[in-house]
Structure 1
Amino acid sequence: MSAAPTITEIDGVEVHWRALPGRLRADLIFRAGAVDEAFHTLGTGHLVEHLAFAEVEDLDPDVNGCSGMLTTTFQVEGTPEKVAHQLRSLCRAISDLADGSLPAARIEHEKRILAAEGDVSALGEPAVAEALTVRYGLRGPGLAGVSSRFIEKLTDAEIRSFTREYFTRGNALLVLSGDPPAGLQLPLPEGARRSVPEFDPVPLVLPGEYTTGGEDLVLSFQVPGMSAAADPVARLVLGTLRRRTFRRLRRDAGVVYDIEAGQALQPQSGVAVVIVRVAKTSLPQAAEGILGILRELRDHGVTDADREAAYQEVQDQLEDPHHETVELFDAAEAGFLQAPQPSLQDLGAAVRAITKEDVRAWLAGLDSTLAVGVPAIDLDDEPEPGTSGLVATVMGPLPGPEVTGTVYPVKMFARLAGVPKGLKLVVGESGVLVTDGQFRRSLAWDQVAAVEQDASDPDDVQTTVVGVNGEVIEVPTAVLKGGDRAVDQICQHVPQRRQITTHLRDDRAEHREQGPV
């Protein structure tokens, strides 16, 4: 049985350590991630990470950094002396950024580097990120599916403020795979621990379907949040889903060729995401097959064979010679995030004890919160909102406010060219609305995340209004009477800080589009 780590404190930073074989590894973790940012400040934590590394003159190749949804981590490996030196240098660089000592020229230089790299905040599997953006819009977990467009517009004040608030000794955790090095110093700014925020989903009509930007079938639904009791149930259910899918839908039916399943958790709620790799001709059978297995588990529970298979997976992990190191770091971070999980030794017994009621409770939201992402079958024939999809109704525009104000109707030549005669844009004091007479999209000004202008073609600049809820209004400037005036009027209502000009039309492909407007 794995020994419990020693927990201590160094310079106000909580430290977990345990003497394990191999080189000393140190993870300095901050509770700072994309969920703490906004669409127009996305990438701030990643920039702080880059700036900290940039200020370490003798940076070693064994030093790595990672910016995620909930945390930002600096990892160092090597001798105790090297680990102590690198950690102190990183902490000193963070403090210099927080107190204004870091030169503004250095900040501008790193901003240009990230902008040139096309810094993206999408985490892990793009299909998972997209599913979260559909469900949460452009905030919290939904920011996993969009890129950091505003890196170059971040102000020094915004960057330093974020650093002072999140990259502090009270909001940090250090995990070591050996004794703390002699004389270790962690000179970080003062600050308090930041809890993991909770975000409500946007008001989608569910169950529903949307067109994905990828090639895979994606099913997602709401599940319980961070909980030591829910963790074994999730492991058992998703593991059983993978095994039954392999047997029934791959080996026996030849419908799918791979499946991945996981979850994204908040304190009170989470989302399970299932990614199915399947030929487009087999999409209906795959969707029905996966849902059939999940409903079977919800209604009838798991078998003893399912429990034993999950138990054996845990035993296989325990036989891994590196499992103690993995468990040390994973358990410390889970506790840091207040997301308790059982130890591997306890997990085996826990999956064996799961009941039919446990499984039913975990899958209770399957049908009522189901969102299905379907790859585009015919790019020229998008499914119309409100029509039947593979297994649910195709989603339409999100509910929005009524808007009155200046009306910009369609030009006569555009009507003759086939543009719907009912197309019009309305810009008022309360918000903006576009409709083609059948479908409408609208956003209140306080719900606008950004205005993007694509200047790839200087003679035909494309303007898009992006909502915090993920709604997208593409302004059909060229076909509207007074289209340029409409764009000017929109920009007057949105702070300059949230306006951006790009030169890559493909940037907007990440935003969810749910209708023909």
Structure 2
Amino acid sequence: MNHEVIDGVPVLWAEAPGPLEAVLMFGCGVRDETMRTLGVTHLVEHLAMSTLPRLRHEHNASVDLLTTQFTCTGRPEQVTAFLAAVCEALDALPLDRIEQEAGVLAAEGGQVADSATGELLSHRYGVQGLGLAAYRGPGPDRIPVEAVRDTVARHFHRGNAVLVLTGPPPAGLRLPLADGERPDRSAAQPVLHTGPSWRQEDVPGPGIALRGDLDDLALLLACKILTERLRATVRHRHGLAYEVGGDALHAGPGLGERTVCLDAREGQETRVAELLWEEASRLAAEGPTEAELAEEVTDLRELYEDPRSIGLEIGQAAGALLFDDGYEDPQTRLAALAKVTPGQAREAFARALETVLLVVPCDAEVDVALPDGRPLPRYSCSDDTGLPAGATVLRPPLLARLRSGEARRARLAVDARGLWMRGSEDDVHHVPFAEVVAVEMRGPGRVVFGRNTCMIPVVPELWAGIGEVVDAVDAAVPEHLRYAASALRPAD
């Protein structure tokens, strides 16, 4: 791997088969946004790409949780022209095209993570950082232009960029980006819930998240072995799932989440969740076999030695450079992987299981125990068990109360500290005004989003006489956190 600097931008390259590929990577993704500005990075990417002329070579751009990438494949002169055009566009975004590109984004839809992974991240981090993966945000037509300008100024500059090439830099390559300081990545993402616990969400199947050291190779191998065991058991032996996969998500220096998620055949969601938990518990108790470890190391060796993986390897090194993370070459990694023992893998996985978050589909109910015999607790977004004394309390409209016992039990309360909502099963949701991350204005009503993942709708369809509560919300929540409901989405 070669390292150069062009116009202040680090350039990593290595010879690889095929035409020249380029990835201009910025250390900015969804985790750098807020609930109020969710989608702004994707909008920046679209605005930049909208300036390009018709191109007759492969090119694209994408945004994930951590990075924004502009990619192309072609002849050296095509790559040179593409990269220069992207850099120039980022320096002078066509802000007059925001309305059109917002419409394109609404049509595109899409998510930065599958639904189970998104819910697990929200469970862990709340409505901030990585936890934003579970949310849609205000809608692309409600992103303030000031947020676009701020995102470009803070993140899309040479101090926060790396270029990856699968060949030497072409003659005349220029990267005319603005100056800027790299964001401070020394702190870990704030955590809402350390675990362990489980919760129900609208997901196609169960999944788990384990918080730990992403550089821990014993944990890496243990999670890969768990994935293979689940594929053999849940898919091939029982025929209850199709997708079985895992991911690693960076949350700070050396820290992050390892996830394992499955889909589930309709009606078998609970059984698949139980099998996932059984295999995870067995791995924590017994560990893997020598043969399983050797198989995973062999798979990784095949991947690292495949010439087609050179681009991926350089991309990994670029990510490490952007986020001030350590990078080891494949040979060093393989030598360390081969030294991992079954005991080390078992200990690493058992330690990580102490932080486990389990998400299951809404119709699934689980009754499972941790390795020490304690029941895995069900997560609650609030510790409140009742409504506060002296608060203003609303009930649903009369007609709803006449028709439904659930409506007769429901209550909405407000005082100077925040909102409380009691549901039909006496569960209480609470959003302190100090922790509101966004307020969607729906006609006379409001939908209030809390950092703790509670969402409280203050709308006339659900509550009678909402005026006083709406006034309290508007008085307590800063104006910059409030927005009108998107015109590009149907009300839900």
TM-score for both structures, normalised by structure 1: 0.83
- Counterpart of 2:20 in structure 1 is 24
Structure 2 counterpart of 1:482, one-letter code: G
Give the corresponding residue for 1:210.
199
Task: Specify whether residues 402 and 350 from structure 1 end up closer, same or farther in structure 2 by C-alpha distance, changes over 3 A only.
Answer: farther
- Gaps (5+ residues) in structure 2? 370-375
Residues 175 and 375 (structure 1), Cα distance of their counterparts in 2 relative to 1, 3 Å cut: same
Give the C-alpha shift of residue 427 in structure 1.
Answer: 2.4
The match for 1:470 among 443, 446, 453 is 453
The residue that corresponds to 1:294 in the other structure is: 280
Matched, 1:140 2:129: yes
Consecutive unaligned residues of structure 1, counting only runs of 5 or more, are: 456-460, 509-517
State the secondary structure of the residue aligned to 1:265.
strand
Matched, 1:51 2:47: yes
SS of residue matched to 1:297: helix
- What one-letter code is carried by the residue in structure 2 that aligns with 1:337? F
Q: Does the 8 A contact of 1:210 with 1:372 survive in 2? A: yes
Distance 1:285 1:409 in 2: 38
Superposition pairs of residues 72-471 of structure 1, within 5 angstroms: 72-97=68-93, 102=94, 104-114=95-105, 116-117=106-107, 119-120=109-110, 122-196=111-185, 198-203=188-193, 206-225=195-214, 227=215, 230=216, 232-252=217-237, 256-267=241-252, 268-279=254-265, 281-377=267-363, 389=367, 392-399=376-383, 405-410=391-396, 413-417=399-403, 418-419=405-406, 421=408, 423-436=410-423, 438-453=426-441, 463-471=446-454
Match of 2:58 in 1: 62
Q: In structure 2, what is the Cα distance between the partners aligned to 1:436 and 1:16? A: 55
1:504–1:426 CA distance, 2 compared to 1 (3 A): farther
Is the 2:294–2:338 Cα contact (8 Å) retained in structure 1?
A: yes
What SS does the aligned partner of 2:382 have? coil
Deviation at 1:62, TM superposition (A): 1.5
Q: Offset at 1:146? A: 1.4
- Whole-Å Cα distance in 2 between the matches of residues 143 and 403 of structure 1? 33
Counterpart amino acid of residue 122 in structure 2: T
Alignment of 1:488-507 (within 5 A): 488-497=471-480, 498-502=482-486
User: Contact 2:158/2:180 (CA < 8 Å) preserved in 1?
Assistant: yes
In structure 2, distance between residues paired with 1:342 and 1:320 = 17
Q: Distance in 1 between matches of 2:232 and 2:305?
A: 26
Give me the identity figure in percent: 28
Query: What is aligned with 1:458?
Result: none
- Equivalents in 2 of 1:504, 1:180: separation in Å? 42
- Shift of residue 285 of structure 1? 4.4
Q: CA deviation at 1:42?
A: 1.1
SS of residue paired to 1:309? helix
SS in structure 2 at match of 1:322:
helix
Contact 2:240–2:268 (CA under 8 A) maintained in structure 1: yes
Change beyond 3 A, Cα 1:189–1:507: farther
CA distance in 2, matches of 1:157, 1:280: 45
What CA distance in whole angstroms lies between the structure 1 residues aligned with 2:329 and 2:452? 38
Matched letter for residue 441 of structure 1:
H
Does the C-alpha gap of structure 1 residues 449 and 61 become closer, same or farther in structure 2, counting only changes over 3 Å?
Answer: farther
- Contact 1:222-1:365 at 8 Å conserved across structures: no
Deviation sequence 1:362-389 (CA, Å, 0-9, x none): 32444432222222338xxxx7xxxx64
Q: Secondary structure at the match of 1:266?
A: strand
**Structure 1 residues 58, 244: closer, same or farther in 2, change over 3 A?**
closer
SS at structure 2 position matched to 1:200: coil
Distance in 2, matches of 1:298 and 1:492, equals: 51
In the TM superposition, residue 184 of structure 1 has moved relative to its aligned partner by: 1.5
Note closer, same or farther for the CA distance 1:337–1:302 as it changes in structure 2 (3 Å cut).
Answer: same
2: distance between equivalents of 1:504 and 1:86? 31
1:514 aligns to what?
none
Q: CA deviation at 1:166?
A: 0.4
Q: Output the CA distance in 2 between the equivalents of 1:338 and 1:478.
A: 50
Structure 2 counterpart of 1:221, one-letter code: L
Worse overlay, 428-437 or 440-449: 428-437
* Alpha-carbon offset, residue 90 of structure 1: 0.9
> For residues 81 and 504 of structure 1, what CA distance do their matches in structure 2 show?
40
Tell me the TM-score normalized by structure 2.
0.87
SS at match of 2:10: strand
Aligned residue type for 2:381? P
Shift of residue 471, structure 1, vs aligned partner: 1.0
SS in 1 for 2:171: coil
| Matching residue of 2:373 | none
How far apart, CA to CA, are the structure 1 residues paired with 2:8 and 2:459?
Answer: 55
Q: Tell me by how many angstroms 1:67 deviates.
A: 0.7
Query: For 1:34-92, what per-residue CA distance to the aligned partner results, in whole angstroms no more than 9, with x for missing partners?
Result: 11110111111111111111122344452210111111111122111111111111111
CA contact (8 A) 1:453 1:502 kept: no
**In structure 2, do the counterparts of structure 1 residues 475 and 16 end up closer, same or farther at CA, with 3 Å as the change threshold?**
same
Kindly provide the CA deviation profile for residues 434-481 of structure 1, in whole angstroms up to 9, marking residues without a partner as x. 2259322221212112223557xxxxx764211122111133634544
**In 2: Cα distance, 1:25 partner to 1:243 partner:** 32
CA deviations 1:85-107 (Å, max 9, x no partner) are 1111111111123xxxx4x4233
Q: Distance in 1 between matches of 2:16 and 2:436?
A: 51
Q: Equivalent residue of 1:450, what SS?
A: strand
Q: Which secondary structure does the structure 2 equivalent of 1:245 belong to? A: helix
How many residues end up aligned between the 2 structures? Answer: 479
Does structure 2 conserve the Cα–Cα contact (< 8 Å) formed by 1:454 and 1:505?
Answer: no
RMSD of the TM alignment (CA)?
A: 3.0
CA contact (8 A) 2:4 2:12 kept: yes
